[in-house]
Chains A and B, each alone.
Chain A
């Protein structure tokens, strides 16, 4: 799994549906594995295939439309709600996305994404609409997601928006650090805390 995120320039795949829950991203019946790999093939499984049959892709679903490709998934409001399954973030990353853009992310999904070097970028509703319009006009539209400078840009129009990310997480993503490395490094302090309380 790719660690470190910096500047990503790519086309995007739109999934313009609100309240996408993690059961849609990866249905529970695919959570039986004991490793983190291989979830990408079941990403949006029941929206991609008719009657759970890989030979019958559903027409009209963007992941089945060769017009759309790229490392950026453009989603709608309240993306990733519901179950805490990190498999949802694994599936999106494993499928080949490095960035998910939405106007609003569910809490647990956002953390899970960050822990897997999948960058969740929260943009304003108007900017999201601009991105969707750009893709609709020209599916080959490119976007620049710039983590060091914290902005996302529609290359064709030059429209640009700054996004929020806390400094700690930004440093982690830029350098490929895990939270767990940080926590392990302060284990003594944790043990001291335990004694005081």
Chain B
């Protein structure tokens, strides 16, 4: 029997397996950031041990940084102390830090791929659930807790039980106005926010193959929103072309050797999955969420489920969600006014996302009472946006181009959406209070968010294209 992509990589990284227990899994690359690492370093210091393989650890500051005036000291004391602790810990343990002010600084899941650190066949972890993003390159990448961060710092290994395997096949051609964010929101709406819990998920099919690397990252990024341990896409020419020539990509004979290995990374024809799901690309519409978990999504022209469409058991949670969102069962989201537009986060803050938004808004201006924040995923994305003149398009449109960081995705740093306000957001979570206490989030693609920025309300990009 053939092997799945996951099994090929898993087997290569198992150091030993405990009888009736987990396996010791070797980790190739460990990304760390300021929020989930300080307690791990404290743990090492308490045991008086050093980081085992500091050259396999890469650090950046992203969650808890301001996205304006990054050249000034961080105003908020606790945030400043946390960022300083990272600096101190990295210096003490010999870890490369791309901190504030560094030309490589940015959201950890944006910088890994753009620097060529993220490669096929690796095991990658980070104390952040969206580590699944890296799986777009065909590797095992998943989020871990701080105790596990400490384990990897101390031994470059983790204790893991092998997950079940799921393949989600998306075949066919995507409709106009439908982008990768819509694909993943559509999958979530079908399988729910817990539909892949306990599984490693491989995304496959012609619709996935047709996507760029950045678009693939958006999908793998949100595999955690289905509960998946990790998400992955087998590497192909698109992957190899993306990696080649990047800062830390292999070169010369090393490239040839790596490439030969990478080309073996696919699920064999007779490999067996514990579960398979088949989706037709043609069925996918521009999507939007209406509720308080990412599985609560609909086609943007559809309606919020009516009470009689909701399972009896789900009703209390459903009603709690709608009450929080200030929405009625059975109502339309299309036409709903928004107060904020947030384009950013590890899901959609890469140069292609910014280009997509810029090409849509060029020559237009935002609606009067909407505030629009565009937060590039990294210093390199920011630099490229400026080189391409995207910053000017945004300025003319009345959009605010801020500096790199996680920003308004998580209600932690200075960037928060005020209570009761509606934000259409390209980020990954619409949980209660995620973007700030009592803030209300509609998750959508960069294109749908750009349209809302211009019109001030949720709309269907297909209507827009038809009219123009």
> Which B-chain residue is minimally distant from A28 (CB atoms)?
B412
How far apart are the CA atoms of A36 and B156 in the complex, in Å? 22
Q: Give B134-169 as 1s and 0s: 1 = Cβ < 8 Å from A's Cβ atoms.
A: 000000001111111011001111110101000000
Q: In the complex the two chains form, is B197's CB within 8 Å of A107's CB?
A: yes
A179 to B16, CA, bound (A): 14
Is A107 touching B15 in the complex (CB atoms < 8 A)? Answer: no
Question: Does A55 have its Cβ within 8 Å of any Cβ on chain B?
Answer: no
Q: Contacts A36-B39, A183-B151 known; A84 to B144 CB distance under 8 Å?
A: yes
Q: A52-B437, A107-B229, A183-B154 are in contact. Are A23 and B82 (CB under 8 A)?
A: no
Q: CA–CA, A36 to B40, complex, Å?
A: 10
Q: In the docked arrangement, what's the CA distance between A112 and B129, Å?
A: 12
CA distance A183 to B437 in the complex (A): 40
B317 contact from A19, A86, A106, A178, Cβ within 8 A: A19
Asked if B433 contacts A46 (CB within 8 A), the reply is yes
A residues contacting the other copy or chain, number (CB 8 A): 53
**For the complex, is B363 an interface residue (Cβ under 8 Å from A)?**
no
Give the residues in chain B near A182, CB-CB below 8 Å: 159
Residues of A contacting B410 in the complex (Cβ-Cβ under 8 angstroms)? 23, 28, 83
Sorting the interface of chain B by its residue count into under 10, 10 to 19, 20 to 34 or 35 or more gives 35 or more
Q: Which residues of A contact B143 (CB under 8 A)?
A: 84, 108
Q: In the complex, how many angstroms separate the beta carbon of A91 from the nearest chain B beta carbon?
A: 13
Which A residues between 67 and 95 are near B, CB-CB below 8 angstroms? 77-78, 81-87, 89
Determine the distance from Cα of A108 to Cα of B163 in the docked complex, in whole angstroms.
12
Known contacts being A106-B227, A108-B144, is A193 close to B26, with CB within 8 Å? yes
The 8 closest A-B pairs by CB, nearest first: A168-B21, A86-B145, A28-B412, A34-B38, A112-B145, A32-B78, A115-B147, A84-B143
User: Is A169 a contact of B21 with CB atoms below 8 Å?
Assistant: yes
Which chain A residues in 30-50 approach chain B with CB under 8 Å? Answer: 31-36, 46
Say if the beta carbon of A133 comes within 8 Å of chain B.
Answer: no
Given the contacts A17-B320, A31-B35, A180-B151, A108 and B145 also touching, CB distance less than 8 Å: yes
Q: Which residues of B contact A193 (CB under 8 A)?
A: 15, 26
Q: State how many angstroms separate the Cβ of B20 from the closest Cβ of chain A.
A: 4
Whether a CB of chain B sits under 8 angstroms from the CB of A116 is yes
Is B432 in contact with A112, judged by CB distance below 8 angstroms?
no
B180 on interface, CB distance cutoff 8 Å? no
Q: Indicate if the CB atoms of A18 and B26 lie closer than 8 Å.
A: no
Decide if A18 touches B317 in the complex (CB within 8 Å): yes
Query: Which of B76, B81, B127 meets A84, CB within 8 Å?
Result: B127
Bound state CA distance, A27 and B438, in angstroms? Answer: 12
B129 to chain A, nearest CB (A): 4
